[in-house]
Amino acid sequence: MREKIRSFQDLEVYQNSYQAMLKVYKEILHKLPEEERYDLKEQLRRSVKAIPRLLAEGYAKRHQKRGFLKYIDDALAESNETVVSLCQVRDLYKTYVSLKLCDELIDMYDKISRQSYNLALAWSKFTDRNQKPITDSSCATATDNRKR
């Protein structure tokens, strides 16, 4: 049985994103060339720091379904952006960084993206458990809404 979640720090996705962020800071950013200082390096720095922050802030709003899900979606977007940035680092700067390390980090952030998505799904199911799900919102009409 899983441990009870008492704070954002208990979320596995938060723990993984924080550890991955430390790894990017310690093993990637300082190795990038100076010409990337204001572009790829800065963007990667921002996106990896944003993910755990968004998860923590979203957790504080967990009582608001839309509020929490917005932050989870934003964390997912930042994680996906980080994957693209790490692919660019790997493909553009092979002589500066370890390809193995880049691939490892890409896998970590891919997992973080999947965990974020699954957290959003699980939270939706948890908060909607007493509501009927709408399977296809494009088919919903005013008549359909009155029947509920």
Q: What is the CATH number of the domain that holds 43?
A: 1.20.1440.60
Give the separation between CA 113 and CA 92, rounded to whole angstroms: 23
How far from chain centre, in Å, is Cα 63?
Answer: 20
Lowest mean pLDDT across 11-15, 28-32, 84-88, 136-140? 136-140
Q: Identify the domain containing residue 95 by its residue range.
A: 8-147
Residue 77 lies in a domain: yes
Across the chain, mean pLDDT equals 86
99: its two tokens = 């390809």
Residue 99 lies in a domain: yes
Residue 15 lies in a domain: yes
How far from chain centre, in Å, is Cα 99?
Answer: 23
Q: Could you tell me the pLDDT band of residue 136, with boundaries at 50, 70 and 90?
A: very low
Using alpha carbons, list the distances in angstroms from residue 89 to 24, 85, 108. 11, 6, 15
Does residue 86 carry a pLDDT above 80?
Answer: yes
Q: Which of 72, 57, 78, 76 is nearest to 124 (CA)?
A: 72
Is the Cβ–Cβ distance between 73 and 120 less than 8 Å? yes
Residue 132 lies in a domain: yes
Q: Tokens 């441990």 map to which residue? A: 3
Residue 103 lies in a domain: yes
Residue 1 lies in a domain: no
Mean pLDDT of 51-65: 92
Total structural domains within the chain: 1
Give 75's contacts (C-beta < 8 A, 6+ positions apart).
13, 17, 50, 51, 54, 55, 58, 116
Q: Could you tell me the pLDDT band of residue 138, with boundaries at 50, 70 and 90?
A: very low
More confident residue, 130 or 10: 10
Residue 62 lies in a domain: yes
Give the separation between CA 96 and CA 70, rounded to whole angstroms: 36
pTM beyond 0.95, yes or no: no
**3-state SS class at 70:** helix
Residue 3 lies in a domain: no
Backbone φ, ψ for residue 107 (5° rounding): -65, -40
Give the separation between CA 28 and CA 98, rounded to whole angstroms: 9
First to last CA, the chain: 36
Lowest mean pLDDT across 5-14, 58-67, 108-117, 119-128? 119-128
Task: Give the pLDDT score at 139.
Answer: 36
